[in-house]
Amino acid sequence: MRNALFFSIVALSIAACQSSQYKIDGDIIGQDDGTVFLMNQSEETGQWEVIDSAAVNNGKFHLQGDYSGVPEMYVLRLNSDAYFGQLFLEPASFKVKTWKDSLQQRRPPVISGGKTQKIFQDWEGEYNILAKKVQEYNQKYREAQMGGKQEDAEHVKIDFDASIDNMKFYTKNFIIEHRNSTIAPFLIVNTRLYSLDDARALIDTLTGEAAESRYARIIRDAIEREDAKPGVRIGGTAIDFTLHNPDDNAITLSSLFGKYLLIDFWASWCAPCRAENPNVVNAYATYKDKGFEIIGVSLDRTEEAWVQAIAADKLEWPQVWDKDGAVGTKYGVETIPANFLLDRNGKVIAKNLRGEELEKKLKELLK
């Protein structure tokens, strides 16, 4: 009986040791030799660091080692520069298959194994279908624009925007459904589909390993940095300023309080800003008589370009020039377009509303 118990304990100990290890068996078809490196991005420096390596013999390689903690994304590299796969490492057995002639063509490898990897691949399969649709509409939009078919381009843009929304909706639901997996915060950080305000709401849904992951820390750090900026935090009061309009008359931000007010940072040279202007024009036409106002804050380099763009884009709301960028700096504006929606008392209630998002928010506030 004592011997049976002893062997049971030994067996359990061996199983425990085995369960804390990763094993990666790979096959690079057509590659006779070389070295495969398993790499992870340093959380401190952002540099990719070698964690493990193995020789390639007749195309085969084997990596094995201890792993503890939350699953993270690692990459595989052949020799000095041929990155050929990524996987979410955890204690599990993985199979990797790729081809030498596909390494330069960025052809994805076939990877199996690992619970977290499976979750990622489930998301990736549907996402790639949606992304392909976005690419198709983007190509059609560019062709219509280049061909001078503006009406066709506007119709295609509706489909393009709807496709982007589908990607965001699908990924958001996936994140919520897998809120206890490290994949959830990974997608928030790496898909670039969501604003920081979106991330702020999504991170509160995370549980378990997801909340403990490095990707959750990245989100929380970004939120803390944003919250440390004066005057831009949602719930805070907007910083007052006085700038001049094209007629050289001074306009003070607080003089416009009493309505819902959009502070819109833009510039004539900013293509995304100019593409967004028609949406802002439509929102202004719909809600300007219902308690909505806009102040455009230009970060243009020259007054002439700014004034010409105002006329060309038919921007009818008050416009001022932040000539030296001081106001933009106070608001923490690092990229444009950027906007801040204020309530009637000058309190920031939303940021960076684009396209239909602005329309939806105003409809909600001014119904």
Domain map (residue ranges) of the chain: 21-112, 118-228, 242-365
User: Which tops the pLDDT comparison, 74 or 151?
Assistant: 74
What pLDDT is recorded for position 6? 41
CB atoms within 10 A of CB 140: 17
The pLDDT assigned to 235 comes to: 83
**In CATH, what number does 21-112 get?**
2.60.40.10
Residue 116 has pLDDT above 90, yes or no: yes
Residue-wise pLDDT for 76-96, tens only, equals 999 988 889 999 999 999 999
Give the model's pLDDT for residue 234.
83
pLDDT at 314 over 50: yes
List the single range of 50-54, 128-132, 173-177, 334-338 with lowest mean pLDDT.
334-338
Residues 49/41, Cβ–Cβ less than 8 Å = yes
pLDDT for 7 equals: 41
| pLDDT over 90 (residue 203) | yes
The values of phi and psi at residue 321, to 5°, are -110, 115
Per-residue pLDDT of 215-251, as tens digits, reads 999 999 998 887 776 657 788 889 999 999 999 999 9
pLDDT at 72 over 60: yes
Rounded Cα–Cα distance for residues 285 and 142 (Å): 27
The pLDDT of residue 42: 92
The whole model's pTM is what? 0.68
pLDDT in tens, 206-216: 999 999 999 99
- Options 3.30.565.10, 3.40.30.10, 3.90.1300.10, 3.90.950.20; CATH for 242-365 is 3.40.30.10
Q: What is the pLDDT of residues 5-59, one digit of tens each?
A: 444 444 444 444 446 999 999 999 999 999 999 999 998 888 999 999 999 999 9
Long-range contacts of 242-248 (CB under 8 A, 24+ apart): 243/297, 243/320, 243/321, 243/322, 243/327, 244/320, 244/321, 245/318, 245/319, 245/320, 245/321, 246/303, 246/306, 246/307, 246/310, 246/319, 246/321
Token digits for 155? 């119709």
How much is the pLDDT for 230?
60
pLDDT > 70 fraction of the chain, expressed in percent and rounded: 93
pLDDT of residue 354: 85
Mean pLDDT in residue range 115-138: 95
DSSP 8-state symbol, 259: B
Of the candidates 255, 199, 260, 254, the residue with the CA atom closest to the CA atom of residue 227? 199
